[in-house]
Chain A
Amino acid sequence: MLLDSTHNIATPEGIELRLPVAGLAARSLAWLIDAIIKFLGFFVAAIALQFLGTAGSGLFLIGLFAMFWLYNVLFEVFAGGATPGKKAMGLKVMNSNGTPVGWSGSVIRNLLRAVDVLPGCYLLGFLSVFFSARFQRLGDLAAGTIVVHRLPERLVAVRDDSKPLPLNVPLAIDEQQALLSFAERAGGINDDRVAELAELLDPIIPGVDAEQLKRHAHWLAGVGR
């Protein structure tokens, strides 16, 4: 297995769910986006509640409380495990067994945020993320939750109608897989890079170009048979 940041969960159905765990950068940016949203929220609320005078400042304090402690919990429980910031960064909170995060998990991880921020600037949280295997801050560890990248919505395997071309060179199974994936992804990469990648195969399949490779891939995939 490659050395990577995937968290694997074995399910009762005998398959393995492979979840890409989110690292510090993505999570920090998500936090920043949330912080900006909350700040704007405070700002608008402060202006609006001006008109209510003393009572308004009471409501403002309740709002402040909710923003501090409930914002994350409510979004995580009701909006599929992601605050707006996390959603923007393509992140999602879930239990470490792969089930959606519920009230208890979310409440624990977010209350214990008070410890992660200590002694300032999320220092404990940062250290914890660095040293835990699944990039969990202390709150995550205590709640048994992880933050993962959302799996891509749907990676469409676009196969154009180029004709399959038989390949005479024997390829090992993972080489075949690499070729199939190349054909799949070629549409999303710029042409120069595609050509460059195709050149890598020159020693194995002499004189091959990207177009030919795609046709070989189609043959491997069994298009038109």
Chain B
Amino acid sequence: MKQEAFETRYRDTWDRYEDCLQALRKSRRAGARTTAQTNRETTGETTGQTMGREFPALYRQICHHLALTRARRYSAGLEQRLSRLALDGHQHLYRTRLPFVTAFLRFFARDFPQAFRRHWRFTLAAHLVFYLPAVGMATGVLLKPDLIYSMISPADVASLESMYDPENRRLGRERQADTDLMMFGFYIYNNISIGFQTFAGGLLFGVGSVFYLVFNGIYLGAVAAHLTAAGFVETFYTFVIAHGAFELTAIAIFGAAGLKLGYSAIVPGRKRRWHAIRDAALQALPLVYGGTFMLLVAAFVEAFWSSTSWPPAGVKYAVGAVLWAFVYAYLLLPGRDES
């Protein structure tokens, strides 16, 4: 068949297919809420539905025509048009779709804690890589106080001290609401960026993740020990205990995701290296999403609860303890009955 005849014969099919695709896209964008409504109101089918039934057959026809066009060496222009149509159809037909709300709820109820436990080797390793240097550094600073200056500049140490000095607290007023909001923004920007970098650094054979974990661990240990030694125990620990439950755990979780990535790069097993990395990244993703959410919570708690100075120390410790217990109960318990 000559090209002209081919085009004349099938032009209507191609136009119909394009209309169909456009209608389907539009009805998808309009969303499920309208389809449900129109269903009930009109007994017949909506155009979207008829098009939806017609579409797969049309798509197969387009593919067939594209194959013919290539085999018969019709012109490049026709080939390009049909390629375009086929690609659009392919993208429509084979896209992944998941109702967002269901997926979202299921993620928190099950997927995230399950991922935390499924990758327990990495979550455990990340906890160790994070907390061991912290404990080591804290011990070091307690024994030899000058050690902190190897980590933090004297000026920064001084500003840390003044932040947690009980003298200042007594004189200082309750922080203003807008300052709370500013700090909220800062915690989100700073902490979540660090979390993401901890994950991404895993791609460098895990080195980046280990670096961030160790660095943050040492920093944490140094500051905690120094302020303890300085006698600012109450002001410091009442401040950090509550949001620490979310923040520190989240950093460890991002570290675990990064370690998983790095491990797959080092030990791809029977897969090709990039294939292994791709699979690992996909599996680590729940940890990243969960970690992000935990850092959001941490930023909120830190900005609007930790900073308050009106609750008595006992209340702050109690709330902190409950939050720590909650975080680990949440990570260790839900979704055990299903695989």
Contacts and interface: CB of A to CB of B under 8 A. Distances in A.
Question: Do these two chains really belong together in a complex?
Answer: yes
Interface of A: 11, 13-15, 17-19, 52-55, 57-62, 64-65, 68-69, 94, 97-100, 102, 104, 107-108, 111-115, 118, 138, 141-144, 151-157, 173-174, 176-177, 180-181, 183-185, 218, 220-225
Contacts of B201: 114-115
Contacts of A174: 73
A173 B179 CA distance: 75
Given A98-B90, A102-B95, 19 more contacts: A11-B86, A13-B59, A18-B83, A58-B185, A58-B186, A62-B185, A65-B192, A69-B193, A100-B95, A104-B285, A111-B199, A112-B281, A142-B274, A154-B81, A173-B73, A180-B74, A221-B2, A221-B75, A222-B3
6 contacts: A18-B83, A54-B181, A102-B96, A118-B204, A142-B261, A154-B81
A58 B91 CA distance: 40
A99 B77 contact: no
A104 B73 contact: no
Given A11-B90, A221-B2, A58 B181 contact: yes
**The 10 A-B residue pairs with the shortest CB-CB distance in the complex, in nearest-first order:** A222-B2, A58-B185, A61-B185, A180-B75, A58-B182, A114-B200, A13-B63, A55-B178, A181-B76, A184-B77
Contact of A57 (B67, B185, B188, B289): B185
Size bracket of the B interface: 35 or more
A184 B3 CA distance: 12
Interface of B: 1-5, 7, 59-60, 63-64, 66-67, 73-78, 80-81, 83-84, 86-87, 90-91, 94-96, 176-179, 181-186, 188-189, 192-193, 196-197, 199-201, 203-204, 208, 261, 274, 277-278, 281-282, 285, 288-289
Contacts of B289: 107
A112 B91 contact: no
Task: Name which of A57, A157, A180 has the most chain B CB atoms within 10 A of its CB.
Answer: A157
B80 to A, nearest CB: 5
B201 to A, nearest CB: 7
A220 B95 CA distance: 39
A114 B195 CA distance: 11
B90 A17 contact: yes
Nearest to B25: A80
A111 B288 contact: yes
Contact of A53 (B3, B73, B178): B178
A59 B96 contact: no
A183 to B, nearest CB: 8
B178 A153 contact: no
A15 B156 CA distance: 64
Contacts of B277: 141-142
A148 B204 CA distance: 26
B183 A58 contact: yes
Contacts of A58: 178, 181-186
B203 A112 contact: yes
Contacts of B2: 220-222, 225
B219 to A, nearest CB: 20
Contacts of B176: 54
A61 B189 contact: yes
Contacts of A108: 281-282, 285
B83 A17 contact: yes
B148 to A, nearest CB: 28
B75 A177 contact: yes
Contacts of B66: 15
B264 to A, nearest CB: 9
A11 to B, nearest CB: 6
B178 A54 contact: yes
A103 B217 CA distance: 31
A112 B179 contact: no
Contacts of B5: 222, 225
A154 to B, nearest CB: 6
B281 A143 contact: yes
A208 B204 CA distance: 61
Nearest to A57: B182
Contacts of A118: 204
Contacts of A181: 75-77
Contacts of A138: 203
Nearest to A152: B80
Contact of B278 (A141, A157, A185, A218): A141
Given A112-B203, A142-B277, A221-B3, A69 B196 contact: yes
Given A15-B67, A111-B288, A184-B75, A59 B200 contact: no
Contact of B197 (A114, A142, A155): A114
Contacts of A111: 196, 199-200, 288
A100 B66 CA distance: 21
